[in-house]
Structure 1
Amino acid sequence: MTQLKKSQSPENAPDIGHGGLQNLVPNELKSTTHPSQDLFNSEESEVNFRTVSWQGAAILIAKFQIGLGALSLPSTLHVLGFFPGILCFVILAMITTVAGYVSGNARQYFPHMHSVGDAAQILFGKGAREFVGLIYYIYLTLVAGAGMLTTSVALNALSDHGACTMVFLAVACGLAFIFGTGFRSLQKVAWLSWVGVAGIFFAIWITAIACLARTRPAAAPSGPISLDIRVVNPEASFTRVMSAISTQLFALGASGTFFSVAAEMTEPEKFTRSLIWGQSFIVITNIAISSIMYAKVGQYLASPALGSAGLLIKKISFGISFPGLLVTAVIWSHIAAKYWFVRILRGTPDLQSNTIRHWTVWVGSMAVTIAIGFIIVGVVPFFDDFLSLIGALINPVFTNILPGFMILYFLGMSPASVSDGHPLDPTEEQASSMVWLSAAFKAYRSGWKQALAFVGAFFMILLGAFIIVGGTYSTVLNIQASYKHGTVSGVFSCGDNS
C-alpha cells in the first residue's frame, strides 16, 4: 500500500462515532487522508457512486441482515433453549455491532477502502488482500445463491409447485441479474431495499400474529400435542448447538459488506448513525419475532418460518415477502459483482466513465456471479444447513477475526504502544512485518479503554476461530446425517422445496 499523505490537521480529523475509534487511533494516522486518494471521485466523473445518504445506508444495513436469517432464527431457540438462545443472539449482536462499527468507520482513515480485502492488505500485506478478497467474494455469492433459493421456495409456495424448482430458480436468477445490473450504485439499490425490508417485515409479523391466533400449530398432528418448549436444553448435543449458533451468526453476519456501504455514502462520517438505526431494527425485530413464534409453535416450527401458520398464511406471507426475498438476491449479487468491478477497474478512468470496458466488466461480473449462485444452489438442496455452513465457515472471518485484528491494528498504531512514543507509519512494510501486532500488546499503557479494547479484540478473534472449527464440523455432520436419512433431494432437483 502506498504511503498515505497528510492533508488535514488532527483537530480537523473526521468524527467517527463520538470518540470510539478516535480514542484508539493516533492523531498522526487521523491526518493521513487525502481527497485525491478516495476510491470514488465524486467531482470529475460521469458516474457518481458516492450518493448514498445516511438513511439509505441504514436501510441497506437492515436489508443485508433481514430476510434469510430472520426466517431461520426461530428454530435455533428450540435447539439452544429459549433463554440460552436469546442470550447467545444478544452476545453475537453485540460482537457484530462492534465489527460493523470498526468496518464502516475505518474507511475514514483509509479512503481507498472498498472491501474487506483492502482492510486485509493494510493488516497483512498484498497477498492477504487477494486471499481474503476471494473468500469474501465466495461468501457474497453463497448468500446471493441462498436468496435465489428462498425466492424459488416462495414461487413454489405461491403456485403449489406449478413448475420445476429449477425453472423457478432460473426466474429468480434472471430477475436478480436484470435489477442488479441495471443499478450500478448502491443509492438505487437502497430504494429497492426499502421495499424489501418492508415486505419481509410485514410478512414475518403476519405469520407471527397468525401463529398467536391459532389454537394449535398448523404442522401438529391430530390428538394431544406437546410444544416441547425448552427454557434451557441441557440435552442438546454439541453438533446441534454449534449449528444453531452458526445460523444465528449468519442472521447478523453482514458486517463485511459495510466497507462497501461506507464507500458509497455521501457523508461516511455519519456511518455510525446508520449502523445504530439499522442494527437496532434488526436485533429488536428478530428477538420479538423469534420469541413469539417459538412460544406459540414450539417444536412445530417450519423452515423457512413463514410456513409455520398454515397453508393460507404461508401463501399470503410468501406473496408479501416475495419482493424482499428477491431484493435479497439482488443486493447480494450486486455487492459481489461490485467487488470484482472495483478490483479490476480501480485506478482507471473506466471505473467512473460510461465506456465499453466499464460496461463489459460490470455486466460480466454480474453474469458470472449469478451463474455461480445458480450452480451452487442447484447442488445444495438444503436450507438450514446451508445457512449454518456459511455462518460457521465464512461469517466469523468478517464478523470476528478481521475486525478483531483491525482493533489491534489501531491499538498498535498508537504512540503509547511503541517504545519511542511515535506512532507507526501505515505502510506496506509495517503490514507485511506486522510490527503493529507486537506493539498492540503494549496497549495498557494508553489507559483502561485501550486495555479493554485489547481484551475484546482477542475475545472476538478466539471466538471466531472456535465457531469456524466447531460450527463447520457440526454442520458437516448434520449434512451427512440428512443425506443418510434421505431427507434431502438430489442435485438440480425439480422437487418442491416449499
Structure 2
Amino acid sequence: MSESKKDAIQDGQHDVDNGICDEVTQKAASEVPQDLFHSERGDVNFHGVSWLGAGILIAKFQIGLGALSLPSTFHILGFFPGILCFVILAILTTIAGYLCGNARQYYPHMHSIGDAAELLFGKGAREFVGFIYYIYLALVAGAGMLTTSVAFNALSDHGACTMVFVAVTCAGSFVIGTGFRSLEKVSWISWVGVAGIVVAIWITAIGCLAQDRPASAPAGPINKEIHVFPNATFSEAMSAVSSQLFALGASGTFFSVSAEMKKPELFTRALVCGQGFIVATNIAISSIVYGKVGRYIASPALGSAGVLIKKISYGISMPGLIVTAVLWSHIAAKYWFVRILRGTPHLQSNTITHWVVWSGSMGVTVVFAFIIVGVVPFFDDFLSLVGALINPVFTNVFPGFMLLYFLARKPAKAVEGIQNVQDEESSSARKWLPDAFKACRNGWKESLALLVACFMILVGGFVIVGGTYATVLSIQASYNKGTVSGVFSCADNAS
C-alpha cells in the first residue's frame, strides 16, 4: 500500500475519532446541569449583584435579629466564655458560608441548600431539606415582622394592637418584596437596613456608656453581676449558645446570594467584608453594653439605655427592621419561585405565569409568617426552638457534609457555566463518605479539612440536642409561670 493511501486512511480514522469524541463531549455536556440563570436571556436579570452588593446582603442577613440579643448571652455565659464561644461560632459559620457561597463554581445549577442536599443524598433529601429550609426562612421573616411591631409599640407608646403593627409590616414586606424580583434591587435597600441597625445599636451603646447606672436598675445600691466566667445551668448556657448561633445563622442563604452575583468567583471577597464587619461590630457592641449594664440588659438590647434612647434607637433602626422582614420573605419566596419555574422560559420572562408564581410565593410566605406570629402563644421560645432544632443543620451539619463530599470527589471548577464532566455517584453517601475519610492519606491539608468537617457536624449535633432540650424547658417554665400570651394577642410587646 502506498504512503499516500496510508495517510488518507489515518486521516479518515482521525476524523472519525474526533467526531466520536465531539459527540460524546456534547452529549455529556448536555447532561450536566446548566447555570440556573442566564444573563443574556429573558426580561429579568438575575445576575446583577456586585461583590459589594453581595457583601451588604451578607451583612444584612447576619445583623438582623440576633445582634439585638447578643449582650444578654454574655451575662449567661460569662464575659470571657461568651466572647470565645461567639468567635468559635463565627469561624465555623464563616467556613460554612465559604462552602455554600462557592459551591456554584463547581455546580452552577445550585440555588439553595436543597440542591446541595440532592447532590449529597439524592432527590428525596432535596424535597425534605428544601421544605424545612423554607419553613425556617418564613419563620425568621415572621420574627422580623414581630420585632418591627416592638419598634412601633415603643415609638407610639402602644398606640394600637400589636397584631395591627405586625399586619402593617406584613403588607409592607409583600409590596416591597414583590416589586423587587432580583436580589440586586434588594441589595440597594439593604444598605439602608445595615446602616440603620448599626447606627441604632451604637447609639444604645454610647447611651449606656454615658449613664452612671443602668436605666432599668432600681434605686439604691446595685449589683450588675458581671461574670467573667459562667454562672448558669446547662439549659441556660445552651439557650445562650443557640442565640449566638442564630445571630450568625444565615450561612444557608448564601447559595442564593452567590446565584445572583455578576461574578460568583468574587464571593469570598464579599464574605470576608460582610461577615468580618458584622462579627467585629457584634463583639464591640455586646462587650460595651454588657460591661456597663450587666444583668440589667434589655432584650432586645435597644431598650437598655432608657426610654428616650430606646425611642431614638428604634426610630433609626425601623428601616433596618423592615428590610429584615422584606429580605427574609424575599429569599423564602424565591425558593418556591425557582423550585416551580426552574427550567421553564417563565423563570426570567415577564409572563403571566411568572408574575402569578412570584406574587403567589410572596403572598403565601408573608401570610404564613403572620399566622405563625399570631397563633403561636410563645413565639420567642418557638423561634428559639426552630433556631436550635433547624438552624445548626444549615450552619454546621450540611456544610460539614459538603466539605466531606468535596474531599471525596474533588470536583473541578466550572468553565463558562458548565461543570466539568466526571463520574461522581453523587446521590449515595455510602459511596462518597468512605472516600472522604480516606482523603486524610493525601496530606496534612486534607487531614485538617477532615477534622474541621467532623468538628462542624459534631458542634451542630450538640447544639441541636442541647439547644432543643433547653428551649423545651423554657417553654415549660413559661407555662408554669403563666406568662404565655393568647392567640393574636394585642398586648404591648415593647414593655
Tell whether 2:74 aligns with 1:51.
no
Q: Residue in 2 aligned with 1:369?
A: 365
One-letter amino acid matched to 2:131: L
Amino acid at match of 1:350: H
Q: CA deviation at 1:36?
A: 7.9
Separation of aligned partners in 1, 2:319 and 2:394: 27
Whether contact under 8 Å (1:65, 1:252) holds in the other structure is yes
Cα distance in structure 2, aligned partners of 1:135 and 1:319 = 34
Indicate the SS of the match to 1:166: helix
Shift of 1:35: 10
Cα distance in 2 between the residues matched to 1:110 and 1:33: 14
In the aligned structure 2, how far is the partner of 1:334 from the partner of 1:283? 24
**Deviation digits for residues 374-416 of structure 1, max 9, x if unmatched?**
011113355653443232111111111100000000111149x
Would you say 1:164 and 2:161 are equivalent positions? Answer: yes
CA contact 1:250–1:387 (8 Å) conserved in 2 = no
Q: Which secondary structure does the structure 2 equivalent of 1:430 belong to?
A: coil
| CA shift for structure 1 position 313 | 0.6
Tell me what 1:240 maps to. Answer: 236
Q: 1:200 to 1:386 in 2, by over 3 A?
A: farther
Q: 1:294 deviation in Å? A: 0.2
CA distance in 2, matches of 1:199, 1:326: 10
Structure 1 residue 494 displacement after superposition: 0.3
2:481 maps to 485
- The one-letter code matched in structure 1 to 2:400 is G
**Could you tell me which amino acid in structure 2 is paired with residue 257 of structure 1?**
T
Q: Report the counterpart of residue 454 of structure 1 in structure 2.
A: 450
Does residue 199 of structure 1 match 2:193? Answer: no
In the other structure, the counterpart of 1:315 is: 311
The answer to whether the 8 A contact 1:303-1:384 is kept is no
433-442 or 129-138: which moved more? 433-442
Name 1:37's counterpart in structure 2. Answer: 34
Which string of whole-angstrom CA distances, capped at 9 and with x for unpartnered residues, describes residues 310-365 of structure 1?
11110000000000000000000000000000000000000000000000000000
Q: Distance in 1 between matches of 2:265 and 2:364?
A: 34
Which residue in the other structure is 1:435 paired with? 431
Task: Report the residue type matching 2:114 in the other structure.
Answer: G
Decide whether aligned partners of structure 1 residues 120 and 350 sit closer, same or farther in structure 2, where only a CA change above 3 A counts: same
Match of 1:24 in 2: none
Q: Does 1:350 align with 2:340?
A: no
Residue matched to 2:92: 95
Partner residue in 2 for 1:22? none
Q: Quote the Cα distance in structure 1 between the aligned partners of 2:360 and 2:52.
A: 30
Residue identity in the other structure for 2:454: F
Aligned to 2:279: 283
* Pair 1:445 & 2:458 matched: no
Could you tell me the TM-score, scaled by structure 1's length?
0.90
| 1:444 Cα deviation from its structure 2 partner | 1.4
Question: Is contact 2:117-2:129 (8 Å) kept?
Answer: yes
- Contact 1:413–1:425 (8 Å) recurs in 2: no
Contact 1:120–1:132 (8 Å) recurs in 2: yes
SS of the aligned residue for 1:107 comes to: helix
Q: Corresponding residue for 2:266?
A: 270
- How far apart are residue 473 of structure 1 and its match? 1.1
The aligned residue for residue 227 of structure 1 is 224
Amino acid aligned to 1:368 = V
User: How many angstroms apart in 2 are the aligned matches of 1:67 and 1:430?
Assistant: 35
Equivalent residue for 2:207?
Answer: 210
Instruction: Give the match's secondary structure for 2:487.
Output: coil
Q: 1:322 to 1:424 in 2, by over 3 A?
A: same
More displaced stretch, 374-383 vs 471-480: 374-383
Cα deviation, 1:425-451, whole Å, max 9, x if unaligned, reads 455x43135411111111112210001
Matching residue's letter, 1:226? N
In structure 2, the CA distance between the partners of 1:431 and 1:163, relative to structure 1 (3 Å rule), is same
Counterpart CA distance in 2 for 1:138 and 1:481 is 26
Structure 2 letter corresponding to 1:123: L
Alignment of 1:14-93 (within 5 A): 37-93=34-90
User: Cα distance, 1:34 vs. partner?
Assistant: 10
Tell me: CA distance 1:121–1:172, structure 2 relative to 1, closer, same or farther (3 Å): same
Q: Aligned-pair RMSD on alpha carbons?
A: 1.8
* Conserved? CA contact 1:247–1:384, under 8 Å: no
How many matched pairs?
A: 459
CA separation of 1:230 and 1:371: change in aligned 2, threshold 3 A: same
1:179 aligns with 2:182: no
Q: Deviations over 1:84-129 (max 9, x none)?
A: 0000000000000000000000111100000000000000000000
Superposition map of 1:412-427 within 5 A? 412-414=408-410, 425=422, 427=424
What is the aligned counterpart of 2:334 among 330, 333, 338? 338
| Structure 1 residue runs without a partner (length 5+) | 1-30, 416-422
Q: 1:303 to 1:488 in 2, by over 3 A?
A: farther
Quote the Cα distance in structure 1 between the aligned partners of 2:104 and 2:31: 12
SS of structure 2 residue aligned to 1:228: coil
Deviation at 1:145, TM superposition (A): 0.4
Residue 212 (structure 1) shift: 0.5
How far apart in 1 are the matches of 2:461 and 2:91?
17
SS at match of 1:442: helix
Q: Could you list the runs of 5+ residues in structure 2 that have no partner in the other structure? A: 1-27, 412-419
Which one-letter code corresponds to 2:399 in the other structure? P
| Alignment of 1:496 onto 2:484 | no
Partners of 2:101 and 2:255 within 8 A in 1: yes
Judge conservation of contact 2:29–2:421 (CA < 8 Å) in 1. no
Specify the alignment match of 2:104 in structure 1.
107
Q: What CA distance in whole angstroms lies between the structure 2 residues aligned with 1:331 and 1:405?
A: 27
Which amino acid letter does the alignment assign opposite residue 183 of structure 1?
F
> Letter of the aligned partner of 2:333 in structure 1?
A
Equivalence map 1:136-175=2 (5 Å)? 136-175=133-172
C-alpha contact 1:148 1:329 (8 A) present in aligned 2: yes
